[in-house]
Amino acid sequence: MLILGIETSCDDTSLAVVEDGSRVLALSTASQVMIHNRTGGVVPEIAAREHINSILPVLEHVLKEAAVSFDQIDQIAVTRGPGLVSSLLIGDLVASTLAMVSGKKIIPVHHIQGHIYGNWLERDHRDFHFPIMVLTVSGAHNELILMKDHLTFIPLGRTKDDAAGEAFDKVSRILGLGYPGGPAIAKMAEKGDPKAFKLPRAKMSGRYDFSFSGLKSEVLRIVEKELSASKELSEQFICDLSASFQECVIDVLSKKLFQAARDYQVSEVHIAGGVSANSSYRARIEQQGRELGFTTRSPVKTVYSTDNGAMIAACGYFLYRKNPGYYQHWQNVLPDPNLKFS
Ligand code: KG4
Ligand code: ZN
């Protein structure tokens, strides 16, 4: 089954053609990073306008790359929420229009469930074993989920304030490294000492909950202290603080993930979402998983970690397979910026 996946929940216009929820025939993404870098974050009206400019050229490109005509597409999967309403609207409108003129049906997809299915891309699905513990972490969400079966999710914990990706973005701004923060901090961290600064790990009453705002405030305090003493941040200071911050986030994420995996006696552990593009985080999960005896997975390519249309197509495939009557008539696909998880 060929599914066209459409993802426009934030600042990436990303479309993909995916076969049977695994084989990515083509993935095409128009990134707005250069535009939002100027403002240090995403401005919703600008993001929506850029989606309008990009989405039809990206559609044309992805079909060409996949070497399929639109007639050969079986279903259209589109992100319905959560996300920025004006951004979601563009993807949903294009999906609805395509469905209206072609008679194809639409599979609305939850963005975070899409991230979870990013791990199923380009893998043999017979190798997966439920239950699976999944930690999906992005700019806007930070969820620890027990996946008992396909599309059977039990949320165990979440962030009480900032998501880890948001903390990367805010710390990057504090250090003057620009947007998005994750890749910028990761690059500086390569040249830094992760033990240079002792940073706080928040103590939470909820065993599987997270909190990163105290960590961000501590980074701000350290930077302000340094600036009052030396007017400028040296490159080594920025690298050391980046490395210490990144280490702190990875430490918290990996400890909670493996703790939950042990508590629920799962054998398979996944990381997903934009932060799972971080190579040190991936390496830590892999190494600890090996030591502790878990099968670990992160998306096969880092482009399947950050927002992309392929994960939406993969999730759409499983939604359709589980319930072929699930799909929606084009008139019913309205964006929901606060779409509930299940
Ligand atoms: O999933 P995603 O692309 O968009 C949302 O759904 O929010 O995640 C974006 C987030 C941003 O906060 C970005 O800084 C973070 O993922 N991110 C990273 C890396 N690449 C992206 N964080 C750490 N290391 C990275 N290499
Ligand atoms: Zn996302």
- Residue whose Cα lies nearest atom 2 of ligand 1: it is 274
Gap between the Cα atoms of 91 and 84, Å rounded:
11
Nearest Cα neighbor of 221 from 201, 200, 235, 192 is: 200
pLDDT confidence band for 80 (50 / 70 / 90): very high
Which of 37, 275, 305 is the pocket-test mutation for ligand 1 (most atoms within 8 Å of CB)? 275
User: Kindly report the CA angle at 155 between 289 and 47, in degrees rounded to 5?
Assistant: 95
Q: Is 145 in the pocket of ligand 1 (CB under 6 A)?
A: no
Dig out the tokens for 213 from the structure.
């705002």
| Ligand at shortest distance from the CA of 169 | 1
Atom of ligand 1 at shortest range from CA of 140: 7
Mean pLDDT of the chain: 95
How many whole angstroms from 115 Cα to the centroid of ligand 1? 12
pLDDT confidence band for 323 (50 / 70 / 90): confident
Q: Is 274 in the pocket of ligand 1 (CB under 6 A)?
A: yes
- Residue whose Cα lies nearest atom 7 of ligand 1: it is 139
Region class of 326: left (phi > 0), else alpha (psi between -120 and 50), else beta? alpha
Nearest Cα neighbor of 15 from 77, 69, 70 is: 77
Lowest-confidence region among 89-93, 103-107, 241-245: 103-107
Q: What is the mean pLDDT of residues 301-327?
A: 93
pLDDT score at 341: 84
pTM above 0.85, yes or no: yes
Atom of ligand 1 at shortest range from CA of 306: 3
| Ligand at shortest distance from the CA of 36 | 1
pLDDT confidence band for 32 (50 / 70 / 90): confident
Q: Is 275 in the pocket of ligand 1 (CB under 6 A)?
A: yes
Residue 5: strand pairing partners: 16, 77
